[in-house]
Amino acid sequence: MVELFLRGGEFMWPILAVFIIGLMFVIERFVSLTMSTVNTKKFIVSVTQALEDGGPQAAKEICEKTRGPIASVFHAGLQRFGMGIDAVEKNIMNAGQIEMSFLEKNLVWLSTVIAIAPMLGFTGTVAGMVGAFDAIAAANDISPAIVAGGISKALLTTLFGLIVAMVIQFFNNFFISRIDKIVGDMQEASVEFVDTLLDYEEAHPELKRGGNNA
C-alpha cells in the first residue's frame, strides 16, 4: 500500500491530508453522537417519577444530570411549566431545533471531503496523463513501458481518491442514520412528556394560575 501511495505522485499527499481531516471529523461526530444517546424509555420513566415525587424542580434536576438532546428538550419544557402548555410546547420546539443543529454539526465537512477526494484524484490522473504523453513525446517512441508506467501512476490518484470518498461516505451515512433515530426518539419522547405535564397540571390546578416556574 505504501509503495502504491508513493507511486501515485505528488497528488497523493493532498488526498491523504483530506482523508486525515475527514477521519478527525468522523471521530468527533462518533464521540458526540455516542454521548448524545440515552435509554429514552428509562429516562422518561425517571423524569415522570421525579415529577410525581418531587414536582417540576426534581424533574429538572434529573434533566440537568443527564446528557443528550432529549434531556435538554425536557429541561426546556420544564423551564416554562406553569406558564401554560402552549409556552411549554413552544420552548420544547425551539430547544429541539437547536439540539438538531448540534447533532448535524460538522456533517457538512464530511460531505466536503466526499466531494473533494475524488476531484483531487481525477486532477492527479489528468496531470499524470499529461506527464505520460510528455514522456512519450520526449522519447519519440510509444513503448509499452512508457505508456503503462505513466497510465498506472496517473490512475492511482483516482483509485485512492475514490477509496477515501467511499470510506467517509460510509461514516457519513451511518451518522445520518444515527441522527435520524435520535431525532425520532426526541420527537416521540417530547409528545409523551407534554402529555405527562398535562396530566400533572390537571392534578395540580393551582399551577395553572400560579405561573410556578419551579
Phi and psi, residue 114, nearest 5°:
-60, -35
Q: What is the model's pTM?
A: 0.80
Domain ranges across the chain:
2-210
pLDDT for the residue numbered 145: 63
pLDDT for the residue numbered 208: 57
Q: What DSSP string describes the chain?
A: -HHHHHHT-TTHHHHHHHHHHHHHHHHHHHHHHHHT---HHHHHHHHHHHHHHHHHHHHHHHHHHS-SHHHHHHHHHHHTTTS-HHHHHHHHHHHHHHHHHHHTTTHHHHHHHHHHHHHHHHHHHHHHHHHHHHHHHHHTS--HHHHHHHHHHHHHHHHHHHHHHHHHHHHHHHHHHHHHHHHHHHHHHHHHHHHHHHHHHHH-THHHHH----
pLDDT for the residue numbered 119: 94
Q: List the pLDDT tens digit at each of the 214 positions of the chain.
A: 777 766 667 888 999 999 999 999 999 999 989 888 888 888 889 998 888 888 888 889 999 888 889 999 999 988 888 787 888 889 999 998 899 888 988 899 999 999 999 999 998 888 877 776 776 677 666 666 666 666 777 788 899 999 999 999 999 999 999 999 999 989 898 988 888 888 887 777 666 544 444 4
pLDDT for the residue numbered 212: 44
